């Protein structure tokens, strides 16, 4: 079984934690990762782009000039798609871009994302993560103790407003409770910092 060091908030190693082999030591399926990211980004699209078709654009009911004898090209309406201010053919309309993947595929993608962090040495496990009050300086001290100087995803066992507020003003640092962990955020951050309890809950859900 793979193991990962466990650190305290001062950056000292205080033990080890066994990880589920199928989750953290399994094969990384890059195709499934791509599908999961596309699904998440598609679901975030607003889909409000809209253009007017020939039946919707205003004006243009009268033929601008006679058919023959002017030396100009034939024209039936000033709202033709060829004209400035005219209609748009096959333009975008409001739509829902979201789609879903099968549950097994979504779970496989999450396992692959977690495995990529562990196998790259970018997983840091904390024995606990608690701040007495919201203070950005405390989060900066924690990241410095853990030698994290890049984008990091901080995952807690449950939503912790104190931790979230402490990291809110730090660029590249995102805090999520374990139930909101997702493939996109895992791949978008260089480091994954998670509490021991959060890892245990993840393993309970994904090991089945």
Q: Which CATH number is 194's domain given?
A: 3.40.1370.10
> Is there a single domain that holds both residue 111 and residue 179?
yes
What is the pTM for the complete model shown?
Answer: 0.83
Cα 13 to Cα 5, 6, 28, 170, 206, distances in angstroms: 7, 6, 28, 25, 26
What pLDDT, on a 0 to 100 scale, did the predictor assign at position 208?
63
Residue 94 has pLDDT above 70, yes or no: yes
Whether residues 42 and 130 fall in one domain: yes
CA 208 to chain centre: 24
Q: What is the pLDDT of residue 52?
A: 94
Nearest to 186 by CA among 108, 106, 121, 123: 123
Position 81 pLDDT exceeds 70: yes
CA-to-CA distance for 179 and 4, rounded, in angstroms? 22
Q: According to the model, what pLDDT value does residue 40 have? A: 96
Assess whether 131 and 197 both reside in one domain: yes
- pLDDT at site 16: 93
Q: Indicate whether 41 and 62 sit together in one domain.
A: no
Confirm whether 96 is domain-assigned.
no
Tell me how many domains the chain contains: 2
Looking at residue 32, its pLDDT comes to: 96
**Residue 6 clears pLDDT 70, i.e. is over it:** yes
How much is the pLDDT for 46?
94
Distance CA(46)–CA(61), nearest Å, equals 34
Residue 145 has pLDDT above 80, yes or no: yes
Segments forming the whole domain that contains residue 39: 3-46+101-206
Say yes or no to pLDDT of 39 above 80: yes
The reply to whether 18 falls in a domain is yes
139-165 average pLDDT score:
94
Average pLDDT over residues 122-141: 94
Which of 91, 115, 147 delimits the end of a domain? Answer: 91
The stretch 175-181 carries a mean pLDDT of 94
* The predicted structure's pLDDT at residue 1: 80
Q: List pLDDT tens digits, range 14-30.
A: 999 999 998 998 899 99
Is the pLDDT reported for residue 207 higher than 90? Answer: no
Final residue of a structural domain among 67, 91, 115: 91
Structure confidence at residue 90 (pLDDT): 94
């Amino acid at each position: 079984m793979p193991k990962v060091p466990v650190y305290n908030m001062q950056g000292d190693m205080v033990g080890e934690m066994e990880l589920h082999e199928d989750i953290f030591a399994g094969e990384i399926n890059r195709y499934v990762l791509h599908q999961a990211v596309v699904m998440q980004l598609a679901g975030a699209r607003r889909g409000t782009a809209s253009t007017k078709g020939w039946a919707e654009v205003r004006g243009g009911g009268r033929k601008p000039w006679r058919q023959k004898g002017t030396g100009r090209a034939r024209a039936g309406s000033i709202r033709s798609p060829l004209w400035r201010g005219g209609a748009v053919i096959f333009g975008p309309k409001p739509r829902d871009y979201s789609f879903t993947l099968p549950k097994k595929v979504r779970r496989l993608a999450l396992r692959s994302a977690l495995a990529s962090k562990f196998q790259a040495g970018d997983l840091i496990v904390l024995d606990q993560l608690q701040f007495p009050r919201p203070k950005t300086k405390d989060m900066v001290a924690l990241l410095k103790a853990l030698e994290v100087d890049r984008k990091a995803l901080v995952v807690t066992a449950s939503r912790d407003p104190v931790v979230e507020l402490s990291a809110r003003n730090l660029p590249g640092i995102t805090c999520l409770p374990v139930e909101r962990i997702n493939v996109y955020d895992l791949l978008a951050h260089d480091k994954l910092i998670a509490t021991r309890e959060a890892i245990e809950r993840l393993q309970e859900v994904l090991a089945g």
